[in-house]
Chains A and B, each alone.
Chain A
C-alpha cells in the first residue's frame, strides 16, 4: 500500500473479477466473439485488453484479435507542453466492419476516448465501437459513456486514480486513489 493519503479501492481479486465480468458482458452483449476486436489504449489499456482476451478464450475457445492504439497524435492538450512521446499502435486486423472494444483503465474527462475514436477511424470504419473501462471516476467533459465498467468510483477532481498491474512491473494488481506524492 501507499502512504497515508493513498488508499486502495480495488485489490487484485476484485480487479480479476471485474475484468472477467467485463469479458462476459462483452460476449453477452455481442452474442459471442464473432467480429470482435479488442483495442487497448496505452498504457495500460493493452494489458487489460489482453486479460479480457484470455478470459474470452477460456470461455469460447476463440482468440479474439487484440491490439493497441496510441492516441498521442490526436490529443487536444499538447500545445503548451513538451510533446509526449508516441506509443505503439498495432492492430492485427483491419477494423473495417468489425465491432471494436476500446479498453482503457480509467474513464475521467472523456477526452482520451474522444481522441481514441478519432485515431480508430484513421485505421478503418468499424461497424460498432464499444468502450470498456476498469474504473469510471466521473467528471466527464464530453458526451461519452462506457458500455462496460469494472467499478464506478466517486472521486474529487484533485484526487488521482492509479491502476497498478503486474505486467507493467508493479508488485501487485491494485487500484489506488489519493493525492500528492506516492510514498
Chain B
C-alpha cells in the first residue's frame, strides 16, 4: 500500500507523509544495491510483469532490476513483439496477463489515463511507468529522493522545470511531488510548451528561462519529445538550443550548489550542453542509480498488506 491505494498511478493524492515513507524505504534499498550480494529475499514468490506499450530502456530495466534485487520474478512484455500487433485490445491483453497471476504489473502506455483505466479492471497492483503526457510517478519519486539526499530537505527549495512542459509526464509528477513536499516549483520554456492552467497544479510560470534559473536550487531539464510532435511547437532545434538550452553561462544565474537533473534520455546540445550534462553539478546518473532504489521501495510497499497496524 502506498497512501491508501494498492496502485501507484500518480503523485497527486499522496500526502507528504506517504511520499516520505517511500523515500525512507528507498534509503534501505540503496544500501542493498551497494552490497556485494545485491539481493534480498523479501519479495520471494511475487511476480512483477513489465508491460511496456511504448519504448523504454531506463525505466523498464530499472523496474526489472528492482524486482530482481528483492527476489521477485520479473517478466518483461514488449508490445511490438506481442499480440497487440495482431489486433488484441489493450484490456484483453492485460486481462490475459492477469490470468497468469502477477502481483504487480508495471504499465507504460502512450495514452494518458491508460493505467488508470486498467487499474480499475485488475485485481493486482498497477504501477504507472508513464502514461502519455499525464504522469510518471516513479520518476517523480526518484527526483524527490535525489534532491532530498543531496540537500537534506525539500522544504523551501526553488525548483525549476524547463522545456516541453506540455508533453511532459515527468513535469506533472514532479510538480505534484515537489510542491507537496514544500518546495517552490517554477516551470519555464517556450510559451507554446507551457500548458494553460498549469498554475492550478501548484507550479508558477517563470517570466523567462533566465528568471526561472536565477537563484534556483534545482534545475530539471526536459527533453524535446519529437515523437510527441514537439517539433510543431518550436521553429527548430538549433533555435531552441540557443534560447532554452542549459549552458555554462546560464547556469551561473543559479545558486552555486545547484543540482542539474534530467529524466533522460538527454539530447546533448539541444536542451543541455555536454559540458553541463557531464559537469560537477549534474546528478543525472545518480538519478538513474536512485531510480532502482526508489522502484524497489515502490514494489516493496505495494506488496504489503492492508492491515492498519504497522511495525
Contact = CB atoms under 8 A, between A and B. Distances in A.
Contacts of B303: 83
B137 to A, nearest CB: 18
Contact of B310 (A72, A84, A123): A84
Contact of A82 (B28, B29, B40, B304): B304
Interface string B58-85: 0000000000001000000000000000
B309 A70 contact: no
Contacts of B1: 82
Interface residues of A, number: 23
Interface stretch (A19-27, A85-93, A101-109): A85-93
Contacts of B31: 86, 88-90
Contact of A122 (B25, B28, B39): B39
A81 B41 contact: no
Nearest to B70: A73
A84 B309 CA distance: 10
B25 A86 contact: yes
Q: Which 6 A-B pairs have the closest CB atoms?
A: A86-B28, A83-B304, A73-B40, A84-B311, A73-B42, A80-B305
Interface string B111-149: 000000000000000000000000000000000000000
Given A73-B40, A73-B42, A81 B28 contact: no
A88 B29 CA distance: 10
A74 interface: yes
B288 to A, nearest CB: 21
Given A85-B25, A88-B28, A73 B35 contact: no
B35 A78 contact: no
Contacts of A78: 42, 304
A77 B21 CA distance: 20
A167 interface: no
Interface of B: 1, 21, 24-25, 27-29, 31-32, 35-37, 39-42, 70, 300-301, 303-311
A166 B39 CA distance: 35
A81 B42 contact: no
Nearest to A83: B304
14 contacts: A73-B28, A74-B40, A75-B42, A78-B304, A81-B310, A82-B308, A83-B303, A84-B310, A85-B311, A86-B29, A88-B27, A88-B28, A122-B35, A124-B36
Q: In the complex, which of the residues B28, B306, B309 has the most CB atoms of chain A within 10 Å of its own CB atom?
A: B28
B300 A83 contact: yes
Given A85-B28, A122-B35, A123-B37, 5 more contacts: A70-B28, A73-B28, A80-B305, A89-B28, A119-B40
Contact of B305 (A72, A74, A82, A124): A82
Given A74-B42, A86-B27, A89-B28, A81 B37 contact: no
